[in-house]
Structure 1
Amino acid sequence: MMRTHDSSEELQETVRTAAAAQTPLRIIGGNTKVFYGRHLKGTPLNVGKHQGITSYEPTELVVTARAGTPLAEIETLLAEQGQMLTFEPPYFGSNATLGGAVASGLSGPRRPYGGAVRDMILGVQIINGRGQVLRFGGRVMKNVAGYDISRLMAGSLGTLGVLLEVSLKVSPRPPMEITLSQERDAHNAIRLFNVWAAQPLPLSACAFDGEHLYVRLSGSEESIQAARNKVGGDKLSDSTKFWEKVREQTHLFFQRSTAPLWRWSVPATTPPIDLPGEWKIGWGGAQRWFRSELTAETIRPAAESINGYATLFRGGDRSGEVFHPLSPPLMALHQHLKRAFDPHGILNPGRMYQEF
């Protein structure tokens, strides 16, 4: 049974009180992504009880829910109507919430082919750092007023506002999906990912684990069979379980080492990166997971040299800079946004960067 509870007035009053006293708040939902970002202090503000799907129109491909609503409840409801969240959000725990998915801005294996979480946001309702309730965007695809401001909430880690409600575009589930695997080295895996991406193939995920590349095909039986003939490889017996392990980081690669985990974002055609450590390739070459004890002073310049950037995803020193340093103009823009939404700096201060 789905739970419904509106905590907006209680949350708003708490933020107002904190703003008056300039007391830092630490926003908590399901607490499944607490590892992500810089170490955070502050009085807990629990949004997890603010639950409920407030609107769902299957024919309009739009769902609206409160921020504390469990992701599992939303995806179960969508599945009953043959629909899904296109960005395939990682849970990292059974208590994962919609607010956490949006605030973290994290997307799963389907991201390069289906879009990111920010691309699916139609509208949001938030509490800003003054304790005001604001709404941006809407609940329908035709309403684009404030659309870009709504997108700002994706990946902001609660530093711009306390999410109360989110409206998302959803998509029909593909009628069929299979995953093909073949043994390759890293150079050939990256080459093939890019060759296939340039062709009209029904790709929905591509990854390489160091020995085998994996390609998920999604669509009609006819289109998948035609693509399978072009791609080749062996069919996995359980495609769903495999990509769930990749998405939730329970795949062996993520479990066999305790070294800090870095996420690199690079051009998809980037050759294998020559740094000592363990590598896993995702998103058709555009995402590189890296396990290593190397320091940020070594890793980040290496990422910049190939027009990429590196984020300390798990482990390591969370009191330092976790996200790749911004250029001075971008940092100034971020600081301006922070002051506009949270003038007293009380919402998750320091979660993204030490400056805000």
Structure 2
Amino acid sequence: MNGRRPLPAWAEIAVLPLVNIALAFITVGIIVRIIGVDPLHALQFLVVGAIGSSESIGYTLYYTTNFIFTGLAVAVAFHAGLFNIGGEGQAYIGGLGCGLAILAFDRYLPAPLMIPLAILAAALFGAAWAAVPAWLQAWRGSHIVITTIMFNFLAAALMVYLMVNVLIAPGSMTPQSRNFAASGKLPSMHDTLAAIGIQVAPSALNLSIVLAVLCCIGVWVFLWHTPWGYALRTMGHNPEAAVYGGTNLRHMTMLAMCISGGLAGFVGVNELMGVHQRIVLDFPAGYGFAGIAVALMGRSHPVGIVLAALLFGALQQGGAELAFEIPTITREMVVVIQGLIILFSGALVNMPRPWLQRLFTLRGS
């Protein structure tokens, strides 16, 4: 109708997100210039802070791990036509399940048994927390967006009650559990690499990044190489066609949300088993909400989610260094940078599309 060609698939996947990110950083550069800071100088600190040393890279990958978990969680629900905004609460309850399993068995089980059990508990608790909103939508017609948002607050309230009144370590003045025994702790990456002769600086990075990679592979196989994944994606594209093909939409809603909640629950593995090594409050730290942007930017594909998670991990780590080196740029400014990326990758995702379509039309003429 307008004479413009649709974007090629590779441009849809790669070029459009990169243009959106570039527009976000240009906007950030203008804001930084207004407050009196050289944008290129600030960018240098941001990049060096994210990848300038082995310690920085370790922390960047540590943050990336959480973004992968929540990005995959949102993506699985997206493919089913569901908007899961409850990743924060599912991560919270997944961490609770992980911690409870460790507190119950870490003094009796060796690490080769304790670690898989805790990981399984994180997935089951996260899935169970997501199953309730899924059931309410599938059988009662409640909107998944509303119920998952509400369950974030319920999870936070439940954790506060448990940590203050039930799980708090004896004699502790802060709401946290006792320390996990050695069998309930994930090995750090620098210790693991040192065991094979590779020396890197200590950081929060731990072996949960391996779990994140396995989750990416698992989601890719499930969505694109199994009958259940095909049925799930069909439901997301055209529910009527899915019903015609024999798909039970209620069952598929439950399946999609349980997988989504289980993936979000793995944030607790990274945070509690790998870093804090006890149950603490507020460990999800907004990863569940950021996962929405990661999934959007990554086009709900595991490869794209890994790349988007790397960007957000670099912003998280590099932003801390930037705020330290340039006091004018506060941590709140880093949140503004992330927010602008979310804005351009979400609400304004199609703004550059007409320009790119015109460009590709001119190239093809």
**Where on the TM-score scale, by shorter chain, does this alignment land: which range?**
under 0.3
Structure 1 or 2: larger strand share?
A: 1
Higher RCO structure (Cα 8 Å, ≥6 apart) = 2
Structure 1 or 2: larger helix share?
A: 2
Larger Rg: 2
TM-score where L is the length of structure 1 = 0.24
